Chain A
């Protein structure tokens, strides 16, 4: 099993946001997480990736056979966990190229590999840029600075493609993308899909799931997974919204 979250409780500033959540992701699987605004989807993503201030007050997060609760964010990244941010951060003064080379080399160092030679890195970048069809000039600019909403999202997938994570969490990567960009991003994800890695795709829309077909769909509501199913669940949700789930839960 790639990811095994057991009875997880997460609090921010003492306020419980995730309230006893269980989730299992096996290698080769794509899990979609849907749910109303404010239900805790991004909080879950932050807790898995080790963001400071997201306190795990109960439960465990097992990844590749290790409970990663308490590990630093960078160590988790080096172990192969990647987060595509719902709101990518602008970092003025740091170029995309340098940022990615620094990140890639940090991850290689963690795995005991030597730094990537400059020429090889540039080749790799070109290849991945094509894959997600991002504008050549974007990598010369500062990280996300002045990028359009869609460009920022594509840039997240570009970074993912470069770092080749084992577990990728995509937090609303589809929002803000035009139809073509959505297809390209999905194509990128599908190309990276293998029997060795897993994806957790957070989305509000069924449309993304037509392109990235999930093995499972979960509904997160008020910090808990209230329903799990196959891709058909997403279709039901698209049609009926979340209210019926709440009614169902109340019964």
Chain B
């Protein structure tokens, strides 16, 4: 393989650069592929070549300024850089009393001192997706690229075509993982990077997994991160997924999560967005087995000129499934938000229960939110409901609280915090709940930006609160 540089500096738009890179370095990119995977790549590439990235005219992307992103200059690495620094030196997670098994990714590349793929004592396989492709071809054949589905957009296509690394987790049948797994993705480079990562997570029958997925940046350098994650949740398996997003104001994160659920499985996802220039979280849950249940929750706290776009789609493909969506947001300054909740109920999916709710508090009149429920129902025996609220802080409540002696700032905090608590209280890992609780308080007080390193890393001394909300009492 002859290559003068590991990286290419683009001179064209991002899609042109990527198409050029793919043509030139196809061999390098697909060096670990089985023929099956190579075909998936090739198909995705052809679609991408034809359609490119979504743009401002694409209906589903109308409210998110994707043009500015894809017209910018990026460096896209095709080889894992030699990591000289110790990842623990630039980034540390210190959730007290919270013992996790950590998987670190630096600039999209798997980093581990203990090898690329390991089997833990309980039988769970964790490691780099590129290593897993070779080791578990039959699992890849069965699941990889299948869960994303056909309607995927240019970001998913280019990820499928050019992905080189990411996380692979396989929880075999019957294994209940007691220790939470934590994926920490850090961006740390001098150049403006385009980073792709691809994850495949498989939960076997009757298995259990709780997973944290943290996206962080350690400095103020701009980047565009394009992540695609596929989850396969087999019969009677239970998944808890916490996504923590705390990147700098110059970063953009395009996150596409696909979850396929089989009979009697349950999932609970909680997407907590604290900071980022632009985020698009697309979560697509496919309820493909009877008795499956999905809780899809989220909280976003945006300010300055940040943009958050949550696209949630739940497909009730079979009867007797239930889903519950709740997203809550607080938008300040010129921040903008989009919530698109799409519930699809197939013709035979009787006895479906699907709830959807999106509540927003706008702290300034300059903040905007676009919230759009969308129900497509072909069965007749279903219970579906949706609701959306957009409002300011309740002034009646503000006066009531202040009339007891509590300052305007603290009254505001109390109300915002109470608003967010619905989501925080759904975190079932207690030390994590406490930590997030703390972060929300900090974020609401505008103190989080000083420790942008991580959602969970709090190197800054705790500032004193004028009040202490003890959630156990709420």
Residues in A lying within 8 Å of B, measured CB to CB: 49-52, 72-74, 77-78, 82-83, 85, 88-95, 97-103, 105-107, 109-110, 140, 142-143, 159, 163
Verify if B377 is at the interface (C-beta below 8 Å from A): no
In the docked arrangement, what's the CA distance between A158 and B234, Å? 53
> Do the beta carbons of B474 and A105 come within 8 Å of each other?
no
Which chain A residues lie closer than 8 Å to B466 at the CB level? 105-106, 109
In the docked arrangement, what's the CA distance between A90 and B400, Å? 9
In the docked arrangement, what's the CA distance between A72 and B418, Å? 23
Residue from the list B399, B404, B414, B417 in contact with A52, Cβ < 8 A = B399
Residue from the list A73, A92, A97, A110 in contact with B403, Cβ < 8 A = A73
Residue from the list B396, B414, B422 in contact with A94, Cβ < 8 A = B414
In the docked arrangement, what's the CA distance between A169 and B400, Å? 14
- Size category of the B interface is 20 to 34
26 inter-chain pairs at a CB distance below 8 angstroms, sorted by A residue, are A73-B399, A74-B405, A77-B403, A82-B403, A85-B400, A89-B394, A89-B397, A89-B399, A90-B397, A93-B417, A93-B474, A95-B474, A98-B467, A98-B469, A98-B470, A98-B474, A99-B404, A102-B467, A102-B469, A103-B404, A106-B404, A106-B405, A106-B406, A106-B410, A142-B474, A143-B400
Count of A-B contacts with CB under 8 A?
97
- Which residue of chain A has the shortest Cβ distance to B421 in the bound complex? A93
| Interface of A (DSSP majority class) | helix
Residue from the list B396, B405, B417, B473 in contact with A103, Cβ < 8 A = B405
Min C-beta distance of B230 to chain A, whole Å: 35
Residue of B405, B406, B408, B419 contacting most chain A CB atoms (<10 Å) = B405
> Do the beta carbons of A73 and B402 come within 8 Å of each other?
yes
Query: A93-B418, A102-B414 are contacts. A140–B403 as well, Cβ < 8 Å?
Result: no
Verify if B415 is at the interface (C-beta below 8 Å from A): yes
> Do the beta carbons of A72 and B408 come within 8 Å of each other?
yes
Residues in B lying within 8 Å of A, measured CB to CB: 394-397, 399-408, 410-411, 414-415, 417-419, 421-422, 466-470, 473-474
Min C-beta distance of A173 to chain B, whole Å: 15
Min C-beta distance of A117 to chain B, whole Å: 12
Residue from the list A74, A89, A106 in contact with B467, Cβ < 8 A = A106
Residue from the list B394, B404, B418 in contact with A159, Cβ < 8 A = B404
Residue of B421, B468, B474 contacting most chain A CB atoms (<10 Å) = B474
Which chain A residues lie closer than 8 Å to B405 at the CB level? 74, 77-78, 103, 106-107, 110, 163
In the docked arrangement, what's the CA distance between A106 and B408, Å? 11
| Interface of B (DSSP majority class) | helix
Which chain B residues lie closer than 8 Å to A163 at the CB level? 404-405
Residue of A77, A89, A91, A102 contacting most chain B CB atoms (<10 Å) = A102
Which chain A residues lie closer than 8 Å to B406 at the CB level? 74, 102-103, 106
Task: Report the 6 A-B pairs with minimum CB-CB distance, sorted nearest first.
Answer: A93-B418, A103-B404, A77-B405, A89-B400, A102-B467, A73-B402
In the docked arrangement, what's the CA distance between A214 and B405, Å? 27
Which chain A residues lie closer than 8 Å to B395 at the CB level? 52
In the docked arrangement, what's the CA distance between A143 and B474, Å? 10
In the docked arrangement, what's the CA distance between A169 and B289, Å? 61
